[in-house]
């Protein structure tokens, strides 16, 4: 081994040892190693790696990892997405308390940088804005949607003349099936990121002003304290003994509080009209050669969950 080889060998060894010591040091002083801060106890959570954060998120179903973590750390806990600290709220009561009872504190939006980059179009600005400009845009959008007929009969006439939203009360089982499908599919599992407008001690945990907050809507839609059979398809969740449709408070698919989905009534109307019309005209079965068991309900993951492509056969009832 020449002198140069010995030097390089020693150098890389020293370098690796140094890097390892720095990482270990950062790990030990990383935020989760402090259980209390000057303002009080911060929400607990798994220990993050420096810069990398909590890496054990299941990337195919990150919301499931968050659900699992809530079993260990409780209804208010911290995770690090890379270096970004996020406080997660889990369970119907906690999500509702934050978004409705403290909507002035939890009502701001925190665009994650990557989403902001991807969605810099005018249509998406309302989603990510705060303060007076958000209020103004929200009022403007709502007025326009109503002018276009949202929540009015004129709108449903344009979509479909045979079935009407007024029929919904005569079709309680259909309505229950639609709600149960939405509950189980939980298409916006973490809502959109919120942000605290001021320091708050919430359920005994200190959350600093400006902290990103994920209200884990899916944890309310699957909350075992609220639903008889949280993980099964069970339309009776939305029916009483007389088989009439009942609303359920924990059905917060569209979120709650001041950031509640702006298009909720339009979406609900559309879903009812499209679903009933499709089922009145067609019977849906798997495509030839595909068995029911092969149908995979695993969704494609983004901030919203959408179905993977399926081959189906529509058989006309006419
Ligand atoms: C089944 C369909 C839909 C579902 C499940 C849904 C759900 C949601 C959820 C969970 C949020 C985030 C609330 C939060 O962060 O706390 C949201 C926000 C929003 N949704 Fe929807 N949505 C649906 C359809 C629609 C439609 C059809 C429109 C437009 C006509 C719409 C417009 C909006 C807007 C503008 C916001 C942002 C509100 C704000 O930040 O002030 N949504 N939606």
- pLDDT single digits (tens) 61-82: 889 999 999 999 999 999 998 8
Ligand 1 atom 31: the closest Cα is on which residue? 263
Q: Identify the top-confidence range among 46-60, 123-137, 198-212.
A: 198-212
Residue 151 Rama label (left phi>0; alpha psi -120 to 50; beta):
left
Q: Domain locations in the chain?
A: 27-316
Q: Does residue 27 surpass a pLDDT of 80?
A: no
| pLDDT tens digits along 9-19 | 544 555 555 55
What does the pLDDT read at residue 60? 78
pTM of the entire predicted model = 0.86
Residues within 6 Å of ligand 1 by CB: 109, 126-127, 138, 145, 187-188, 191-192, 217, 253-255, 259, 261-263, 266-267
3-state secondary structure of 183: helix
Give residue 160 CA to ligand 1 midpoint distance, Å: 23
As a whole-number percent, the residues of the chain with pLDDT over 70 amount to: 81
Q: Which residue has the higher pLDDT, 86 or 310?
A: 86
| Of residues 262, 271, 253, the one with CA closest to residue 125 | 262
| pLDDT tens digits along 99-119 | 999 999 999 998 766 566 655
The ligand 1 atom at the shortest distance from the C-alpha of residue 215 is 16
Give residue 261 CA to ligand 1 midpoint distance, Å: 3
What does the pLDDT read at residue 38? 61
Q: What is the DSSP string of 166-179?
A: GGGGG-HHHHHHHH
CA–CA distance, 178 with 235 (Å, rounded to integer): 8
272 CB-near residues (< 8 Å, 6+ apart): 163, 165, 168, 174, 175, 178
What does the pLDDT read at residue 149? 74
Given a contact cutoff of 8 angstroms between Cβ atoms, the answer to whether 30 and 48 are in contact is: yes
| pLDDT tens digits along 82-103 | 889 999 999 999 999 999 999 9
Give residue 56 CA to ligand 1 midpoint distance, Å: 29
State the distance between the two ends of the chain, measured CA to CA, in whole angstroms: 86
CA–CA distance, 96 with 85 (Å, rounded to integer): 22
CATH homologous superfamily of 27-316 equals Cytochrome P450 (1.10.630.10)
As a whole-number percent, the residues of the chain with pLDDT over 90 amount to: 57
The ligand 1 atom at the shortest distance from the C-alpha of residue 193 is 15
What does the pLDDT read at residue 163? 80
Exposed/middle/buried for residue 208 (C-beta within 10 Å: 0-12, 13-18, 19+): middle
Ligand 1 atom 17: the closest Cα is on which residue? 261
| pLDDT tens digits along 125-135 | 788 889 998 99
What does the pLDDT read at residue 39? 72
Give residue 6 CA to ligand 1 midpoint distance, Å: 63
Q: Does residue 186 surpass a pLDDT of 90?
A: yes
The ligand 1 atom at the shortest distance from the C-alpha of residue 260 is 13
Given a contact cutoff of 8 angstroms between Cβ atoms, the answer to whether 27 and 49 are in contact is: yes
CA–CA distance, 34 with 219 (Å, rounded to integer): 27
């Amino acid at each position: 081994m020449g002198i140069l080889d010995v030097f390089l060998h020693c150098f890389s060894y020293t370098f690796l040892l140094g890097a390892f010591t720095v990482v270990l040091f950062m790990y030990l002083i990383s935020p989760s190693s402090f259980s209390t801060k000057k303002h009080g106890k911060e929400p607990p959570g798994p220990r993050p790696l420096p810069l990398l954060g909590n890496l054990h998120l299941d990337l195919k179903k990150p919301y499931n990892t968050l659900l699992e973590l809530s079993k260990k750390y409780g209804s208010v806990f911290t995770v690090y997405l890379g270096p970004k600290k996020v406080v997660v709220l889990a369970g119907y009561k906690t999500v509702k308390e934050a978004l409705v009872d403290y909507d002035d504190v939890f009502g701001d939006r925190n665009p994650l940088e990557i989403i902001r980059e991807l969605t810099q179009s005018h249509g998406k600005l309302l989603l990510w804005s705060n303060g007076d400009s958000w209020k103004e845009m929200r009022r403007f959008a709502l007025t326009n949607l109503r002018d276009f007929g949202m929540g009015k009969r004129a709108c449903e006439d344009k979509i479909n003349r045979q079935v009407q939203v007024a029929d919904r009360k005569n079709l309680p089982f259909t309505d229950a099936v639609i709600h149960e499908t939405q509950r189980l599919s939980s298409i916006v599992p973490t809502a959109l990121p919120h942000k605290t407008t001021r320091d708050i001690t919430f359920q005994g945990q200190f959350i600093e002003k400006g902290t990103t907050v994920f209200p884990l809507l899916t944890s309310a839609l699957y909350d075992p304290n609220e639903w008889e059979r949280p993980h099964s398809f069970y339309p009776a969740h939305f029916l009483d003994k007389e088989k009439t449709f009942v609303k359920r408070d924990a059905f917060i698919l569209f979120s709650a509080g001041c950031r509640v989905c702006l298009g909720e009534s339009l979406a609900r109307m559309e879903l009812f009209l499209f679903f009933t019309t499709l089922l009145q005209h067609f019977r849906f079965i798997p495509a030839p050669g595909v068995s029911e068991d092969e149908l995979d309900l695993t969704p494609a993951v983004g901030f919203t969950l959408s179905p993977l492509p399926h081959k189906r056969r529509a058989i006309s009832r006419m």
